[in-house]
Structure 1
């Protein structure tokens, strides 16, 4: 299935979860926030939140600096 992750099309297996989308972009789970179709998904729900065709996923990572 095709989903958009941070504005770029990605092919994921049917039934892929938010966790799999995050792993597509980064190997870490700390300092990461995710929204699917403009709704924030809590970290505790990543493994149980399945994506569907044409979902829009935004993966945001915390950045430190000054």
Structure 2
């Protein structure tokens, strides 16, 4: 199935979770927020939230600078 992650099409297997999608973009475990179809997914739900075909996933990472 195809999902959009940060605006780019990605082919993923059925049953792919938010946690698995995030791991394709970053190894960071802190400072990351995720929304699926404009709904925020809490970190505690990443492992149990399965993606569906055509879902739109936005992965945001905090950046610190000066």
Fold conserved between structures, TM > 0.5: yes
What does the per-residue CA deviation read over 1:18-61, in whole Å, with 9 as the maximum and x for residues that have no partner? 00110111112211000000000000000000000000000000
Per the alignment, residue 38 of structure 1 pairs with: 38
Per the alignment, residue 50 of structure 1 pairs with: 50
Secondary structure of 1:47's counterpart equals coil
- For residues 50 and 32 of structure 2, the distance between their equivalents in structure 1, rounded to whole angstroms, comes to 18
- Kindly indicate which of the two structures has a greater share of residues assigned to helix: 1
- Structure 2 unmatched runs, 5+: none
Query: What's the CA shift for 1:65?
Result: 1.2
Secondary structure of 1:44's counterpart equals helix
- Structure 1 unmatched runs, 5+: none
Greater than 6 Å deviation, 4+ residue runs: none
In the superposition, the TM-score normalised over structure 2's length comes to 0.96
Provide the alpha-carbon RMSD of the alignment.
Answer: 0.6
